[in-house]
Amino acid sequence: MRQPLFIITCQHCGRGISVYGDKRRKYCSHEYIAAQFGNKK
């Protein structure tokens, strides 16, 4: 049985993404690192 499908918007890039089961997800990939810690060089 599949988990429910949620359509969310990535808080970093603004793209809409489909997520199965976890509607708390906020980012489409590893962009959460850039959003949380910024670009440290």
Per domain, the residue ranges of the chain are: 5-35
pLDDT, tens only, 7-40:
999 887 888 989 888 888 888 877 777 777 776 5
- 41, pLDDT greater than 70: no
Model pLDDT, residue 7 = 92
Residue 13: what pLDDT?
84
Q: Which amino acid is at 30?
A: H
Indicate whether this model's pTM tops 0.75.
no
Name the more confident of 1 and 12. 12
Query: Distance between CA 7 and CA 14 in Å, rounded?
Result: 12
